[in-house]
Amino acid sequence: MGAPATMIRTARGTAVGSINLWTGLGALGSAGIAVFGTNIGAVPRPGPDRYWVHFTGVGSILMHLGFYAGVVMLLVAWVAVGLEARRGGLTVARCWVLLLCWGLPLFLGPPVFSRDIYSYVGQGLLAHLGLNPYHVAPSALGNGRQLASIAHVWRNTASPYGPLFVTLSRGTVTLAGRSLDAQVMAFRILELLGVASIMVFLPRLARRLGTDPGIALWLAALSPLALFSYVASGHNDALMVGLLVAGVALAMEDRLAVGVALCALGALIKLPAALAVVFLAVVALRRATADERWQVIVKAVVVPCAVLIVGTVLAGYGWAWLSPAALHVPAELRILHSPSVSLGFFFSAVVHLVGIPVSTGAVVSAMQVVCGLLVVAGTVWLLWHAHRSDVVRAIGLALLLFAVGSPTLWPWYLAWGVTILAATTAQRSKMLAAVAGLAMLVVGAGGSPMLHGLAYVVTAPLLLAGCVWFLRDRHWQTVVMDNVD
């Protein structure tokens, strides 16, 4: 008995020592990202107020090399910790330590990989001034650091977010005061509430589904995608996903009404969270007996509808957030790393080669419609089969499908489905790990898309090849049905 116990203690000690090493490397990488991001990241314009200070006398090439060296160190550390996690060596407590060590430098540093947080500030300022962000764009703020820091494409666009987030934005700006740097930090603190919810409820959901909570957190909260999206960029997706995970976890613990209510609150942040409400409600209704059906209708249908109605009315901004104009906002920007856009440009080049006089814009719009129809069909298929498989897995796949097939795909959209799937048996998928590790790199340090020009000549054929593989191997069936009860 003594020898095996000694061997177990030795193995555990080795695992802890290894994770400590990678914790330090990841923290060093995060610090490098924060330091070099002060020059090439999504810093305020024309420059930091007094918190983030530019380095002078250092060339742009060296800045980029230092920044991406930090990214590589964090990525290597994350992969190494993941290998320990797959051997059962990553506890939830250790995940909190990793989040602190890797996330703190990113939290203290400037925003990187996205300028969306400045849009949140702008919309919060509009609401603070008594204006309706669904009717008035940030350009109404006039020239100043707040407007100059917002990406050009969003300066004349009304808010695409839910009324709960607009209300929270107004309160955050009010508390932060006039300093843009302070406003950015205040929004990051707000988004950390969503990260905390993921850290608390995702392990509960994983245990409920019989999977490893350490791997779940490694994939969903500690990955470069999560750290860059939630902590460094301060995206409101953190709040939406935090409410979503909490809602799904509680629904799986037979607290359906509370669960769908939290998912509905998530939809008041960003609308995609409503997908979980639909799946949970439909599955609950299909599994209910005749005597239980009315009770389930109240819990799964009436409760979330009431949350949406009451939340919208109390916010006081009307129903414009559900108008066709607001729902069309994501389609306004066409970027090549969006599959529908990449395929649209590719097919446009093909029809031009054969002499068909069709505008590129028309072909891209048509491809966006086709992808939208495929998303609807795929979601319906997942919904139809969800009652015979893992409903949580179906929700995660539907969120991924919705993100990939949307008119505009930003990498942080992928975090919706990755986070939910991290609690299922899909948590060991190499494809999910690749997405969580590399997806954010399709945008530059300052938030601009990295694919330009003729990049679709490469990306579109790869997308088509992936679709052929997916259909020929019948993954459209096995990806869900491998968890049939």
pLDDT in tens, 242-264: 999 999 999 999 999 999 999 99
- Is the predicted pLDDT of residue 483 greater than 50, yes or no? no
Percent of the chain with pLDDT strictly greater than 70 = 90
pLDDT tens per residue, range 165-222: 999 999 999 999 888 989 999 999 999 999 999 999 999 999 999 999 999 999 999 9
Is 229:440 a contact under the CB 8 Å cutoff? yes
pLDDT tens per residue, range 342-362: 999 888 888 888 888 888 889
Domain boundaries, the chain: 2-324+408-451
Q: In Å, what is the CA distance from 82 to each residue of 29, 39, 68, 90, 207?
A: 17, 31, 21, 8, 18
pLDDT mean over 285-309: 90
C-alpha 333 chain-centroid distance: 18
Other Cβ atoms closer than 10 A to 426: 24
Is 394:386 a contact under the CB 8 Å cutoff? yes
Is 221:195 a contact under the CB 8 Å cutoff? yes
CA atoms in the 13 A half-sphere facing the CB of 128: 20
> Does pTM surpass 0.85?
yes
Structure confidence at residue 57 as a pLDDT band (50, 70, 90): low
pLDDT mean over 356-374: 89
Percent of the chain with pLDDT strictly greater than 90 = 63
Is 91:19 a contact under the CB 8 Å cutoff? no
Structure tokens at 403: 């993100």
What is the full DSSP assignment across 420-475?
HHTTSGGGG-HHHHHHHHHGGGGB-TTS-BS--GGGHHHHHHHHHHHHHHHHHTTH
The helix/strand/coil state of 323 is coil
Give CA angle at 201 (244, 381), nearest 5°.
40
pLDDT tens per residue, range 131-170: 999 999 999 998 888 899 999 888 998 999 999 999 999 9
pLDDT mean over 266-287: 94
